Amino acid sequence: MGAIFIPIGVAVFLAFFIANLLGYGGGPASIPLMYDQIVTRFGWLSNTEFSQMLALGNSLPGPIATKIAAYVGYDVYGWPGFFAALAGTIIPSAVVLIYLLKILRKYKQSPIVKGMSLLVQPVIAIMMLLLTWNMAADAVGSIGYIHSLIIAGIAFLALGKFKIHPAFVIIFAFLYGGFILPMT
């Protein structure tokens, strides 16, 4: 059997629709699913490009899922891709939210509903861990173990211990990469 041809605008919409429909928990839970669609399935961005886009997107205000969709949609298919990706990102969340909230309100005391909500959390944690592993491996491959460990250690302390806003940590990493890495 031959491959099925899907117009690029439809592919952009479906990629973000699927990622956001299955991304239980919001933007952070959708990121690994978007990664799978953007990098693995369609090859619209490389792992490095995805990591850079994610870092920059996290330094800007607003939901990360819509920023990823806007950037990738526009990059792949211009303004039609921009709108297709945003529609694919927003529609599933809005529609499912409306219906799920009605169901959850009706059955909020049900042990089944409580169990479903709690047991999906480890799955999301593993998805985030795998994404982190892929991004860390790419960083080590690009800049080496020493710089990767320095940046990771500083970021861990800044975010975890000193509670510095992530945008400032990302700006620091950009500066480190721009001024320190070229000198090594």
Q: Is 138 helix (H, G, I), strand (E, B) or coil?
A: helix
With a pLDDT cut of 90, the percent of the chain lying above it is 51
With a pLDDT cut of 70, the percent of the chain lying above it is 96
Q: What is the mean pLDDT of residues 118-137?
A: 88
pLDDT of residue 3: 57
Category of 172 on φ-ψ map: left (φ > 0), alpha (ψ -120 to 50) or beta: alpha
More confident residue, 6 or 71: 71
| pLDDT per position as a tens digit, 131-143 | 899 889 988 999 9
**pTM > 0.75: yes or no:** no
Q: What is the dihedral of CA 36, 42, 48, 50, to 10 degrees?
A: -60
139-148 burial string, b = 16+ CB within 10 Å, else e? beeebeeebb
| pLDDT per position as a tens digit, 86-114 | 999 998 878 878 888 888 788 878 888 88
More confident residue, 107 or 75: 75
Distance from C-alpha of 121 to C-alpha of 164, rounded to nearest angstrom: 26
Confidence of residue 25 (pLDDT cuts 50, 70, 90): low
Distance from C-alpha of 171 to C-alpha of 12, rounded to nearest angstrom: 30
User: Where does the chain have alpha helices with state H?
Assistant: 8-22, 27-35, 47-59, 64-106, 111-156, 166-175
Indicate if the pLDDT at residue 64 is higher than 60: yes
* C-beta separation of 82 from 74 below 8 A: yes
pLDDT of residue 10: 93
Q: What is the mean pLDDT of residues 24-34?
A: 79
Confidence of residue 4 (pLDDT cuts 50, 70, 90): low
Q: How many C-beta atoms surround the C-beta of residue 65 within 10 A?
A: 26
Indicate if the pLDDT at residue 5 is higher than 90: no
